[in-house]
Amino acid sequence: MNLGTSRHRRVSLVLSDGIASGRYRLGEPLPGEETLAKMFEVSRVTVRRALADLDAAGLIERKHGLGTFVKKKPEPRDSSPMNRLANQIAQAGRLAVEVIEYEYSAPPDSVRQLLRLKPGDDAQRVVRVRRDRQQRPIMHLTTYVPAAIGRTYARKDLAHIPLYKLLARAGKVYRRAQETVGACLADPLVAPPLKVQVGAPLLFVQRVLFTADDEPVEYLELRASPDAFMLTRSWDTAAESDSPFDHYTNGV
């Protein structure tokens, strides 16, 4: 997943999903460039860049004078939700990070209950912004970690070590996650770090991470502009016996 997803990348992802799902069958032509440009409301230059991505991935074959044909399907995705979670958190960990706030305080009641803390218990609260290689803000993160766990590392560690690694170092390796995905509007505190206008629509993700012993070790709130961040969700019904909406499937 490309965390700084451009227009041509979004087009290529949708077409790749269409090939994987069988909407565009092996050996059959994709719609022409002009048709794709109208479908996605982008320029033909954007479409050509998207097709170049698919061509580089070996998914399509471009025949001069005839069109673009589906050559093969994308490789099957890992069907393990937690493996996908670990992979994408690791990808996010490669982004530059700025620690904006760092403190120990009593969390909101809703967070306290999710972390199963007692009334009056403190939690480590950290606010970070992750940026891409061009230093453009990608996501705004607010995390709460039980104080006893948070005190195993320092503020400076959070600037260059992903939080999941710090948790693992403290012996708190996650094995399960509970997540809610929705939308919100940028408030005056979040808008400036993300360089968006107050009131701009944002993707909003809430996540709680648990150890194998079902101990909650982290509560996270992620806010990101849909222009800069894309969340992909997928599941394998053969591998997961319950409803896929009852499980974490994908994210950052």
Threshold 0.75, pTM exceeds? no
pLDDT values of the chain reduced to their tens digit, one per residue, 252 residues: 333 447 888 788 778 877 876 778 889 999 999 998 888 888 999 999 999 989 988 999 999 888 999 998 876 544 444 444 445 554 555 568 899 999 999 999 999 999 999 999 999 999 999 988 788 898 899 999 999 999 999 999 998 888 989 999 999 998 888 988 888 888 888 889 999 888 888 888 899 999 999 999 999 999 988 877 666 655 555 544 443 333 333 333
**Measured between alpha carbons, how far is 147 from 169 in angstroms, rounded to an integer?**
15
Mark whether 110 and 217 lie in a shared domain.
yes
Q: Give me the residues paired with residue 141 across strands.
A: 128, 222
**Measured between alpha carbons, how far is 167 from 239 in angstroms, rounded to an integer?**
28
Q: Is 1 domain-assigned?
A: no
Mode of pairing for the β-strands spanning 137-146 and 60-63: unpaired
Token code pair at residue 154: 């320092």
Q: Is 231 domain-assigned?
A: yes
Mark whether 132 and 228 lie in a shared domain.
yes
The CATH code of the domain that includes 198 is: 3.40.1410.10
Q: What is the per-residue burial (b if ≥16 Cβ within 10 Å, else e) of 64-103?
A: eeeebbbbeeeeeeeeebeebbbebbeebbebebeeeebe
Mark whether 127 and 218 lie in a shared domain.
yes
Q: Containing domain of residue 213, as a range?
A: 81-246
- Residue 230 buriedness (CB in 10 A; 0-12 / 13-18 / 19+): middle
